[in-house]
């Protein structure tokens, strides 16, 4: 407040005195009234300071203790309701899961009790054989598998929210002080994926469904099909077959005593071994039953059945060949990933594995005389070895397919084994056998003019081709997959090779 000593009227008392000018209100005051005016201004200042201090304390208190307003109460109530709904849903899930699991256990226990009773009965009666024991072993294996690897129980997660989302809507935006705007702070759960779950819709009890390849119903003839004969567009009782990466088919053309190669979409075959009449010379064959590739040694190997030998060819000109196994009634042969050769011996009822340079070979299946025990074979024909060196054998005269695991002393029945017949539990003189990448076993059920597929442990197989449509196949023998798992069949009685394309 500035002052002057000029005489003028006082703003308060209106007397001419020495006055003092107030720069705030621009009025003149005598000394007495100037003091009163100043005291009044200071009082106003004190009030402002006091209000300021009180508001500061209010802010501090509000920061330390947010108000328990009706909005906060609404948020709290939403939280309580949502938690209760989640807890209720979780409890329903737990009860349902417990109920389903107990039902599974009860089912397995019931089957186990029935099996125990049957075992007790045959033991007391003392009337049982190997077939009975094998049946019980399979049953026990199935029950054990069902218990240790039960049907799948899963939680279905639903993307649709069942808890209502809430938000806080405000007209205040500190970044835009001069404009009214909406700021939304979402207060909600992450999408809760476990819905209010019921037995029917949320927890599913699913049987484990094994995936299976499917094939077109009608085949394409890729070799032969022009009647039996010696011409290059004909075959004469084809046996074993194998496919190359370019989908060429190599065929043991048995009664033509030759191996022929049919390229994709070709109308004629190319002779790559034999074809010089039946004989024992280097360029002759006698009723060959199969051919395999030995990629490790860049050669192919033939089971020359009529000459009781296995021959290796290093080229297709038949000029570089060697006899690698002699004096063997070779029904079929196959090769594993290490390059070891497996050969089935029809006379000795056994399968041996031959390493390069072996003179005798190692017994890997059978060799215990002709019979139907699990350690015996009866006319083993076609064979197949998988990636873990398990050997699959068409035990022809026992009308079954056996699986011998590596170093096993006996095999297990994986197809047939219920006597000769045409039911889904039976086979009749099985021949070709192969296994796909899903572990499904394919069998050329020669006597029944059909192809069967079996899953290890199943009591029955399924018909893939033939059966009630006997005109499709006539005594199928050899089987092979190409690199796309299309299925090839040596249709023995129709002198052709059929291709069933994978869908």
- 461-479 pLDDT, tens digit per residue, is 999 988 766 558 999 999 9
Q: Is the per-residue pLDDT at 341 higher than 60?
A: yes
Please write down the HEC assignment for all residues of 396-418: HHHCEEEEECCCCCCCEEEEECC
Token pair, residue 71, equals 């909005």
Hey, what are 502's tokens?
A: 């994978």
pLDDT, residue 24, reads: 78
Q: Which CATH superfamily is domain 220-500 in?
A: TolB, C-terminal domain (2.120.10.30)
Q: Which two tokens stand for residue 203?
A: 């927890």
On the question of pLDDT at 95 being above 70, the answer is yes
pLDDT at 104 > cutoff 90: no
Give the least confident one: 5-14, 90-99, 323-332, 398-407.
5-14
Mean pLDDT of 410-424: 96
For 263, counting Cβ atoms within 10 Å of its Cβ (0-12 exposed, 13-18 middle, 19+ buried), the class is middle
Distance CA 473, CA 496 (A): 10
Per-residue burial over 463-486, b if 16 or more Cβ lie within 10 Å, else e, is bbbbbeeeebbebbbbbbbbeeeb
Q: Model confidence over 154-208: pLDDT tens digits?
A: 777 665 566 777 766 655 444 444 443 333 333 333 433 333 333 333 333 333 3
What's the confidence (pLDDT) of residue 60?
A: 79
Long-range contacts of 464-467 (CB under 8 A, 24+ apart): 464/215, 464/500, 465/215, 465/219, 465/489, 465/500, 467/422
Closest C-alpha among 435, 489, 372, 412 to residue 135: 412
- Phi first, then psi: give them for residue 453, nearest 5 degrees: -125, 130
Residue 322, number of CB atoms within 10 A of its CB? 11
Q: With bands split at pLDDT 50, 70 and 90, how would you rate the model's confidence at 319?
A: low
Mean pLDDT of the chain: 83
Q: Is the pLDDT of residue 308 over 60?
A: yes
Higher pLDDT, 149 or 368: 368
Higher pLDDT, 492 or 88: 492
The answer to whether the beta carbons of residues 400 and 417 sit under 8 Å apart is yes
Taking alpha carbons only, the member of 392, 443, 445 closest to residue 421 is 445
What is the per-residue burial (b if ≥16 Cβ within 10 Å, else e) of 88-104? Answer: ebeebbeebeeebeeee
What average pLDDT score do residues 303-309 get?
95
Do β-strands 330-335 and 321-326 pair in parallel, antiparallel, or remain unpaired?
A: unpaired
Name the H helices within 318-474.
Answer: none
Instruction: Give the pLDDT band (50/70/90) at residue 391.
Output: very high
Domain ranges of the chain: 7-64, 73-168, 220-500
């Amino acid at each position: 407040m500035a002052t002057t000593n000029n005489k003028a009227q006082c703003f308060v008392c209106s007397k001419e005195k020495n006055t003092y000018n107030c720069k705030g209100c621009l009025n003149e005051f005598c000394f007495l009234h100037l003091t009163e005016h100043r005291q009044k201004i200071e009082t106003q200042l004190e009030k402002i300071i006091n209000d300021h201090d009180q508001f500061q304390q209010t802010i501090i208190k509000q920061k330390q203790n947010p108000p328990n307003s009706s909005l906060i109460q609404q948020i709290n109530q939403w939280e309580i309701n949502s938690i209760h709904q989640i807890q209720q849903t979780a409890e329903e899930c737990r009860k349902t899961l417990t109920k389903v699991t107990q039902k599974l256990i009860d089912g397995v226990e019931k089957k186990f009790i029935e099996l125990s009773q049957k075992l007790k009965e045959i033991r007391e009666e003392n009337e049982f054989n190997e077939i009975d024991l094998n049946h019980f072993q399979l049953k026990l294996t199935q029950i054990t598998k069902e218990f240790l690897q039960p049907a799948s129980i899963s939680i279905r997660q639903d993307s649709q929210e069942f808890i209502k989302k809430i938000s806080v809507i405000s007209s205040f935006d500190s970044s835009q002080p001069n404009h009214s705007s909406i700021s939304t702070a979402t207060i909600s759960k992450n999408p809760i994926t476990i819905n209010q779950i019921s037995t029917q819709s949320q927890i599913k009890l699913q049987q484990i469904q094994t995936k299976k390849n499917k094939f077109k119903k009608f085949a394409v003839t890729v070799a032969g099909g022009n009647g039996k004969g010696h011409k290059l567009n004909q075959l004469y009782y084809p046996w074993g077959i194998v496919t190359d990466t370019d989908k060429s088919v190599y065929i043991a053309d048995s009664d033509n005593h030759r191996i022929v190669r049919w390229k994709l979409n070709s109308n004629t075959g190319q002779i790559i071994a034999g074809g010089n009449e039946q004989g024992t010379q280097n360029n002759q064959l006698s009723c060959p039953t199969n051919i395999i590739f030995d990629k490790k040694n860049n050669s192919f190997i033939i089971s020359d059945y009529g000459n009781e030998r296995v021959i290796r060819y290093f080229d297709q000109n038949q000029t570089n060949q060697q006899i690698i196994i002699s004096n063997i009634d070779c029904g079929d042969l196959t090769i594993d990933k290490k390059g070891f050769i497996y050969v089935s011996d029809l006379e000795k009822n056994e399968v041996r594995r031959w390493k390069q340079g072996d003179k005798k070979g190692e017994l890997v299946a059978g060799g215990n005389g002709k019979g139907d025990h699990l350690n015996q074979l009866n006319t083993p024909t076609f064979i197949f070895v998988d990636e873990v060196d398990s050997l699959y054998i068409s035990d022809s005269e026992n009308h079954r397919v056996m699986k011998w695991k590596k170093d096993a002393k006996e095999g297990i029945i994986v197809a047939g084994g219920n006597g000769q017949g045409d039911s889904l539990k039976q086979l009749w003189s099985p021949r070709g056998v192969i296994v796909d990448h899903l572990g499904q076993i394919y069998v050329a059920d020669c006597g029944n003019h059909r192809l069967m597929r079996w899953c290890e442990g199943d009591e029955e197989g399924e018909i893939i081709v033939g059966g009630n449509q006997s005109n499709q196949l006539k005594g199928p023998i050899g089987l092979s997959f190409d690199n796309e798992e299309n299925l090839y069949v040596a249709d023995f009685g129709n002198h052709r090779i059929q291709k069933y394309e994978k869908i």
